[in-house]
A and B are shown apart, each in its own frame.
Chain A
Amino acid sequence: MSNQLDQTSMNEERLRDAIASRTRPKRPSPISSSLTFSSRALLRIKHVPEQLFDVTVFPVIFLLMFTYLFGGAIAGSTAEYLQFLLPGILVMTVAQITMYTGIDLNNDIRKGIFDRFRTLPIWLPSALVGALLVDMVRYSGASAIMITLGFILGFRPDGGIIGVLGAVGMILIFCFCLSWVWTTLGLIMRSEKSLMMVSFMVLFPLTFVSNVFVDPSTLPGWLESFVDVNPISLLVDAVRGFMHGNVTGEAIMWVFVASGIFFVIFAPLTMYLYRNKK
């Protein structure tokens, strides 16, 4: 009993000391606070490694499934089809992973930690920028896994290593900008379920009704015209170009235009909602 009392009083003294120190350090720079949020995301991966399934197992399943499912039917042989499919399926997989950014944010809001971040005297976007930086690492990881597996299965990029790096670079730029769509939705939707549903509703048509699996010229005219302006198709064009060593300046430009549009609309919208979330 007396032991316990001693412990309590010791705590009280420490408590008083801890509270008495009223030093307020200088506010962190935007870079420093963003990096703190990045390290939070890395710690979360360390503690909940299952969340890496989407960038490890998911891409492997996708690549194997679609190569062997459609290869014979569409291109006559899987080896032939892989050459066409890999850049597209890479885009599709990484684009689909981007939606988890919104889900993480949505969880933060419902759990209350979001309120704490918003009352801190920090550069407001750093919570999102920090998380997106780690997402870039995750996307790169997913890309590396898919390209490696593709190589094992017989994929041979004519663009060489430079072409592959250029292709991944295109994907990262595009996905960084696309992510702001999900952060916007993550702030609007009230539950994780409804957010998932809306995200899938956007992503499924966008990734499937594109040039990922088939040559758009085989499609009926009205569908072809949609596929041609689908931002995913634009990205796939550039990524294929880089990997096959025949990329055009125009294809690259379109990726930048599509990415720019996503970013210019959804990044400010996200920040507006972030600041004014009820």
Chain B
Amino acid sequence: MTSTTSVPHPPAGAGVRFLHSGDWQLGMMRRFLGPEAQARYGQARLDAIERIGAVAARTGAAFVVVAGDVFDANQVDRQVVLRACEALRGIACPVYLLPGNHDSLEPGSVWTSPTLAAHLPKHVDVLRDTTPRRPVDGVEVVGAPWRTRRPLADPLAEVASDPPAPGVLRVVVGHGQVDSLAPDLDEPALIRREALERAIAEGRIHYAALGDRHSLTSVGDSGRIWYAGTPEPTRPEEDHPGEVLVVELRHGTDASARTVTPERVGTWRLLSRVVEVDGDESLDSLASWLGEQPDKTRTVVRLGVRGTLSVSGLTRLEMLVDAQQEVYAAIQRWNRHWDVGVTPDDAALDHLPVSGPARAAMEELRLAVASGTDDAASAADALALLHRLAGGAA
């Protein structure tokens, strides 16, 4: 995937350029973030709208489509709605918002709330139905909104069954999993890729702007079915989040008649890292990796640590993580990949000034750590504590 920082002037002749985004998930909170980071993360998702507006202005996009899940839920805070409306004001061209599964048009939906109705800017249109919109001559935008949280059919099955008027480019905005990417084929509301590709081959659809998948994804070989991904990442597993797509369409069915270019708008990074430790050297390298990362305040690391350390090494690891925790947006202890043992035959323990029953207790804990049984971790913690309380060096 390539990323260009500047896009030339709008295409000449009968063509159109627009932006494709989706899954803004406004109001979303992440449990691994503390209150302060949470606030900044929420703000970053709102700021992404402004950055999308900047991309639109710079590329001369005719309009922007947002393919669903604009809000994380229908019952989001009023504040989130108001701030979203305010941020949308910053986009100069028409914006089409599609209700997705998180903000479906069910009763009591955010789209029917008085707050939204009163504050949504005029140039922002919610695709509540499949009526075609014509932002510019020769282009129609057809939305397939989610009317309920649990639809029972392909949300795109109903749209674009007839070809558009001659000379009109049709952009379909949809939301949901495409069956070719879905893990569960029994899910009834999957988007049928074959049907979509057939519609494209027959010239009924010129571009399908999809949402739901947070990773930037091109579906199939047509190059005309895309998931734009989320503008700010939400999970470490996502591939290439943080992009908005600049789409250029011209008449014709060959590959040259369409160009899709990702533009970076995301500012946060959600990383996963699993390290193996066996001594001070490995701890040094972990410390330097954590230290080298840029933009730590907007970075979340899901950290897994495997291996065996001395009692003092274990204490150092704890202190290292504790210290970086303050610098990063979050360092999440990845429990599934967190498995640190203590070296039972640590010479430091031998030299501890303990005698009598205390020494006997220490030896028992060392045996428990060495046994590698379930309570080894708890025994290691106890051993480290003994080490500290008995005056051992950190």
Q: Do the two chains belong together in a single complex?
A: no
Which B residues have a C-beta under 8 Å from some C-beta of A? Answer: none
